[in-house]
Structure 1
Amino acid sequence: MRTLLLQSLFPLLLITSFHSINVESSLSQDDLPYANCGEDINCGGIRLSYPFRGVNRANYCGPPGFDAECLENVPMISISSINYRILKTNYSAPSVTVARQDYWGTICPQTYVNTNINFSLFDYTSGLTNLTFYYGCASINIPGLNSSSQPCDTNNDHVTYVVGSLPFDPVANGTCKNGVSIPVFTTAALALEANRTTIKEVVDGGFELGLQINNTQCTNCVESGGKCGLNTKNGGFSCFCLDQTYATVCNATAPGAEETKNRNY
């Protein structure tokens, strides 16, 4: 009798177990973006969250172009084929302070490339001034140019520089071989002109870039208990929540939403 009862219950148990496995699998897939995008990139003491992705953050945790790396404990990002060290973040702005890797600790890079950013992703903030380096000038006694004490042995080029701009282009008129402009903080540039700091300190101090993202959209998502991310189908914004993904904010009635919201504060 007991054997017959077990035989009759076996199909039901099998169906129930199969359904349970499917539900658990479905839930884990829904939870995956929420979990992956809830963890910051922590590199060299600097934490990177939305819109940045890379390292331990999946590609759907931020838009393309905000791909970060952690190289020798230094957070890095490539913008228009130039590598930058990430020095500081300010998510309330939102903005990030960066410094060119090829000019880190030197004013003699291997190649001469002007600073160029992707204005669909970043923008220069206020309070910046161009510091322009000129290399291989026929004469270092050019009005307005300052001579550097550091020669570039790798290119056999003497370095001159100017804060701001000149009324003429020494490269265009053939006086100098190359020129590279790097944004720096205006306060640092003024200190350099007053001999209160060094070129290295000014360049290594970097400059600030505004992030071209909808910060309010992300804030609303986080306040509803979600994690900000990318809609991989249309390239728009997604709010990853405990129960599922939403276009803007989490459903306030979803299980665990209120608990998660409180945990974000």
Structure 2
Amino acid sequence: MKPKNLFPTIFPLLNLCIFLILSSPLPRKSQGVVDPYFLVCSAEPDNCGDGQPIKYPFHIRSKQNRSCGYPGFELSCNNNGQPTINIQSNDYIIHNIFYETEILRVSNSDFWNSTTGCIPLTQSISLPSARFELAPFQTHVNLLYGCNTSTLESTLRFSAYPDCDHGENKNRSVLVLAENDQKLRNVSEACTTRVVVPVEPYEREKRDGIERALRNGFWVKWKASTCSICQESGGWCGFNYTDRHFKCFCPDRPYAWNCISANRHLTQQSVDWQGNDEPYEMGVSLPAISSDRLGEPNDHDNIHHFFFTLSYLQVNTLSFRSHHQHATRFGATHMIER
């Protein structure tokens, strides 16, 4: 007996299976479900009032989330609306920030705020090597406080300035000597305190040259994990204080260095991260069954292969849906550390 042709009978059923599987709603990125750190750190950079945008590696205490910055780069705002950074218990005013070259200009607040025409007493600065280094073409000067100039030899040439801490006592002055001045040993014996500070090169011949140099400050280069790789991938740089590592905050979750991973590369072509209602598109390769061969014995093998393909597609569809729902739940419950 000739085998009964089963294909015309089940052909509508096959069409129905294809339709149900391919038209079943695959998960889309839930609207509004974006990594909270990405949202916080991608906000418009804040400032202290002088218009300088403060962003990674810096963050303003009590105004910006510390996870959007890097340890050791916390800033404050002074009463004049300027950002300041504390280095060795001294506040330094930040006048310029150049994010591209990772350089900033700072000045000691003691010098910047002095308007009395004298040189105020301060402390020597030793930049923490893990965070900063002095930029090229800077120099150092010795500030010698409480100097009794009457005891110094008249043949010694030096620049003397009023000492803010000794008022009208003209015998007490601040002497300024270059970093490697040969007179330093002899002059130091007539003074009480020595402070070494970095400055830009200045005109030593001018009386107010050192005063301007101290007010203008000096240039330093900061050291923090580079941000360019993360930025180029569309992320925002920050730091995870739990595992103490740099993080690249991306729309879906934080990554180690950038927003490109094998998983996101496979799905980003079909997932609309803006959350619109465009459906997923999926291509399926099905076994071909020629119409002029219907009812032939080999068709049973083709049909078996066809059902196997549908089963595989259905299992992987459910697996993808389950994985996405899990990721969405994780993103929704992810808490921000302030």
**Normalised by the size of structure 1, how large is the TM-score?**
0.75
Report the CA distance shift for 1:199/1:220 in structure 2 as closer, same or farther (over 3 A): same
Moved more, 194-203 or 122-131: 194-203
Give the Cα–Cα distance (whole angstroms) in 2 for the partners of residues 144 and 66 of structure 1: 42
Q: Residues of 1 paired with 2:220 and 2:208: CA distance?
A: 23
1:206–1:74 Cα change, 3 Å = same
Match of 2:130?
A: 120
Please point out which of 190, 195, 211 is paired with 1:180: 195
What is the distance in 2 between the residues matched to 1:173 and 1:197?
A: 22
Instruction: Decide whether aligned partners of structure 1 residues 145 and 196 sit closer, same or farther in structure 2, where only a CA change above 3 A counts.
Output: closer
1:118-141 C-alpha deviation (Å, 9 max, x unpaired): 110000111101122111123264
1:151 aligned residue: 163
2:229 aligned to which of 220, 230, 250 = 220
Counterpart residue type for residue 75 of structure 1: P
Q: Are residues 175 and 196 of structure 1, via their aligned partners in 2, closer, same or farther at CA, if it must alter by over 3 Å? A: closer
Residue 239 of structure 2 aligns with which residue? 230
Is the alpha carbon distance of 1:144 and 1:48 closer, same or farther for their aligned partners in structure 2, counting shifts above 3 Å? farther
Q: Which residue of 1 aligns with 2:69?
A: 62
* Number of the residue aligned with 2:306: none
Amino acid at match of 1:147: A
Structure 1 position 101 matched with structure 2 position 106: no
AA at the equivalent of 2:228: T
Q: Share of identical aligned residues, percent?
A: 27
Deviations 1:1-24 (A, max 9, x none): xxxxxxxxxxxxxxxxxxxxxx78
The residue identity in structure 2 corresponding to 1:66 is F
Q: Which amino acid aligns with 1:120?
A: A
**1:198 corresponds to:** 209
> Structure 1 residues 229, 204: CA separation in 2 closer, same or farther (over 3 Å shift)?
same
Largest Rg, 1 or 2: 2
C-alpha distance in 1 between matches for 2:250 and 2:106: 31
How far residue 108 of structure 1 moved from its aligned partner, in angstroms, is 3.7
How much does 1:184 deviate? Answer: 0.8
Q: 1:127 to 1:82 in 2, by over 3 A?
A: same
Asked if 2 retains the 8 angstrom alpha-carbon contact of 1:41 and 1:48, the reply is yes
- Unpaired runs of at least 5, structure 1: 1-22, 258-265
DSSP-derived class of the 1:116 partner = coil
RCO higher in structure (CA 8 A, sep ≥6): 2
Structure 1 residues 220, 255: closer, same or farther in 2, change over 3 A? farther
Any idea what the Cα deviations from partners look like across 1:47-78, whole Å, max 9, x if unmatched? 22110012432111122210001122111110
- Tell me, what secondary structure is at the counterpart of 2:59? coil
2:46 to 18, 35, 41: 41
For 1:36, the aligned partner's letter is V
Distance 1:243 1:154, change over 3 A: farther
CA distance in 2, matches of 1:171, 1:36: 58
Structure 1 residues 239 and 144: CA distance shift in structure 2, 3 A: farther
Return the letter of the residue paired with 1:151.
Answer: D
Does the CA-based 8 Å contact 2:145-2:163 persist in structure 1? no
Q: Which runs of 5+ in 2 are unaligned?
A: 1-29, 275-338
Query: In 2, Cα distance between the equivalents of 1:103 and 1:171?
Result: 26
Query: How many angstroms does 1:197 deviate by?
Result: 5.1
Distance 1:176 1:240 in 2: 54
TM-score (norm 2): 0.60
Deviation at 1:170, TM superposition (A): 4.5
Root-mean-square deviation over aligned CA pairs: 2.7
Displacement of 1:116 after TM fit?
1.9
Contact 1:97 1:209 in 2 (8 A): yes
- Give, in whole Å, the separation in 2 of the partners of 1:235 and 1:154: 48
Distance 1:200 1:172 in 2: 20
Checking the alignment, whether the CA contact within 8 Å between 1:61 and 1:228 is kept in structure 2 is: yes
Q: Secondary structure at the match of 1:135?
A: strand
